[in-house]
Chain A
Amino acid sequence: MNKVRKNKLAIFVFLLPAVLLFAGIIIIPIFCSGYYSLLDWDGITEGIFVGLENYKTLFTSKTSGFSKSVVHMLMLAVGAVFIQLPFALFLALGLAKGMKGERFFVTVFFIPVLLSTVVIGQLWIKIYNPDYGVVNSVLRMLGLDSWCHTWLGEKSTVMWAVFIPIIWQYVGYHMLLMYAGIKSINSELREAAYIDGATYVQTCFYILIPLLKPVLRVCLIFGVTGAFKSFDMIYVLTNGGPAHASEVPSTLMFTNIFMKNKYGAGSAIAIFIIVICFATAILIKKVFKVEGEEKTA
């Protein structure tokens, strides 16, 4: 058997495609990005090595829109942590209690997660349409004409307008993860708490939520890094406009590379996104330690 397991040809054949793809499309390109970020390069002429100049410009320049984009990115993350996740937990705890229509609600709440962001984005563009959109129509119906806005076109409202669909779309995802987590907790624990006279709310806080910690941590990592990476929805809704008012790092990266041909500056933003995603994931893992983790890590 060992001889069969050490078959060199099989090992080579089985690993070759995966290793080639991984190296060629993921590992090497990331190092390339790191190198490009040190160049002043428009993609046509030869790049000039400028060291950390691109990073310096990003963080100090007032016109690049980068500082604004970072603020927006952090706002999205805060929204994910303090609105999206608590609401998802609220839904999951209630549904997992075992109530009428439980499966139906879980199934329906999960639908937005599956739909293409382009579809959802296009629908929200119509919902926000200043003349015929649902939002303004409802406001007019209520006689609140003065509250109507060009939601995606005004600097003061655009960030809220992109915020809502982004938060909305993934509530169902976190809810499902938490719901599955609660369902996998031994139901005897819940029954024991019930016999001891605990209400369901108490059971949630003293038993279910503490036991759900590993799942909550996954949700936290996904929520925060997802916010850091978010691109699709903002690209579809506003592409970062008007005047950087809804810019996030990924849309800024995209514009820099493919609209302005600033390959160096764009790559610096790409590296920034990778570093901050990794750092945050590690930080969250460190801060919220889960017992018995050394084995699985």
Chain B
Amino acid sequence: MKKYIGRAGRYLYYLILLIWTVVSIFPLYWMILFSFKDNSEIFGKSALSLPESWDITNYVEALTKGQMGRYFLNSILVTGVTIFLTVAIALMASYAVSRLLWKGRTVLNNIFMLGLTLPIHAALLPVFLILRSMRMLNTFSSLFIPYTAFALAMAIMICNSFMMNIPEELEESACMDGCGTFGIFFRIIVPLMKPAISTIAIFTFLQAWNELMFATVFVSDSAHRTLTVGMQSLVGTYSTNWGPIGAALVIATIPTVIVYLFMSKKVQDSLVAGAIKG
């Protein structure tokens, strides 16, 4: 009897898993379908039917008239610079607080760690006013500087935990061979921190690529708009024409999906590393 309950339980559990699988990917699947359809097909036929032809006019429309091409490049630029700055600054700061000897290193590290819990809401208006007074609104730096600042806490924490595993003997022998502080950092520490760097890169990529609040407030001209805000304005223009909207959503999602397809384990590990140690 017990065996039968166990088996029924297992089937039931699989059923729940399957349902949740469908629920998890349905929006993505549906989005891809209607990005290839025109309005008559979207509204006239079943939502789940395959498009009659794999027509890319919606994509052309979204990329050119909808300016998604430009937004896409803007997002790549902002995200790329954010990742680079975050990695570089976090590596240096982490080395200074965890390996170099000076008064106040633990205090400073604790202040950095405080940044983990601070919501970005808190800084929205003051940073907006600062940027405005420095005439920096509507520039790329008005995005990647705040993004870097808010990604730093997590990045430093991840660096610290990886740096703990680098034996100090390595630095000592490099020192004996005549390396200075900068030499040790660039020749010994940075090469050994590659796993930390990729973890931070993934983390920062997701944050910067998907960020909405700063991007809405700090940039208002279409020349510097990133994808999240760009999509919002495109939806306004095409409110009744779903096809180009679908295409825009797919375009914005492609990089994330590619990263995830090729490194799903690494992406998952990165997000776990970010959470558990915090």
Residues of A within 8 A of B (CB): 1-2, 4-11, 13-15, 17-19, 21-22, 24-30, 32-33, 36, 43, 91, 94-95, 101, 105-120, 122-124, 126-127, 131-132, 134, 137, 168, 171-173, 176-177, 180-181, 199, 214-215, 218, 222, 225, 228-229, 231-232, 235-236, 250, 253-254, 257-258, 263, 266-267, 270-271, 273-274, 277-278, 281
Contact = CB atoms under 8 A, between A and B. Distances in A.
B118 interface: yes
Contacts of A132: 42-43
Interface string B168-209: 000110010001111011000000000000000000001001
Given A18-B90, A33-B123, 19 more contacts: A6-B100, A10-B185, A15-B97, A18-B89, A19-B93, A22-B111, A24-B149, A33-B126, A91-B17, A110-B267, A114-B206, A119-B249, A119-B253, A122-B235, A122-B249, A126-B242, A132-B43, A218-B275, A232-B213
Nearest to B31: A123
B124 interface: yes
Nearest to A138: B47
A29 to B, nearest CB: 3
Nearest to B105: A11
Contacts of A25: 123, 127, 145-146, 149-150
Interface residues of B, number: 88
A21 B148 contact: yes
Contacts of A250: 121
B124 A270 contact: yes
B256 A114 contact: yes
B53 interface: no
B43 A215 contact: no
Contacts of B20: 91, 109, 171
A83 B263 CA distance: 30
